[in-house]
Amino acid sequence: MFKILIVFMFSLSVFAQFSDLKEKDINGADFSFSSLKGKKVIVVNIASQCGYTDQLEGLQKLYTGLKDKGFVVLGVPTNDFGGQTPEDDKGMKEFCQKKYAVTFPLLSKATILGKDKRPLYKWLTEQSPKNFQGDVKWNFEKFIIDEQGLVKGRFRSGTSPEELQEELKKIFKI
């Protein structure tokens, strides 16, 4: 009984912090979230064929305008909502770069729902403060992470990058 309890406690704390997470980037290379320590991060699940896909342009502008202030936009492709990201990683990267000139980091395409939910979204939707927990409802939902790796905001798909910038000003007093 004691052994089982220890293993269970360890599994809960594996991703206790944002900076502990590790995933693959869109090129298949290891991406360690420890590289984001001390930065403000906007995590957004993206899609290529969604009614909100044009937000990629605004997210890129937001990234360009705020990266010198320690902000990073992290794009997370997923095909979980209506099959709106049929491309593989190479195709999604090409789409983002050619159509929207995206330069912010992109993770590999993976699910953010269900039993196979990627580690980042397990942490965001299950281990963040209770008022930010719960499954993502659609593409282009945004999570705001502060320099200490704490979730400070969650915004639904309809929140435009321009509105998000106003919210960032309130959250971070910039």
Catalytic status, residue 50? yes
| pLDDT tens profile 27-71 | 999 999 999 999 999 999 999 999 999 999 999 999 999 999 999
Contacts of 102 (CB under 8 A, 6+ apart): 56, 59, 60, 75, 96
Catalytic-role residue among 44, 47, 50, 151: 50
Average pLDDT over residues 113-129: 95
Residue owning tokens 């990266």: 67
Q: Could you tell me the CATH superfamily of domain 15-172?
A: Glutaredoxin (3.40.30.10)
pLDDT at 174: 79
3-state secondary structure the chain: CHHHHHHHHHHHHCCCCHHHCEEEECCCCEEEHHHHCCCEEEEEEECCCCCCCCHHHHHHHHHHHHHHHCEEEEEEECCCCCCCCCCCHHHHHHHHHHHHCCCCCEECCCCCCCCCCCHHHHHHHHHCCHHHCCCCCCCCCEEEECCCCCEEEEECCCCCHHHHHHHHHHHHCC
pLDDT class of 13 with cuts at 50, 70, 90? very low
CA dihedral for 10, 114, 118, 53, sign (positive or negative): negative
pLDDT at 29: 98
| pLDDT tens profile 15-31 | 579 999 999 999 999 99
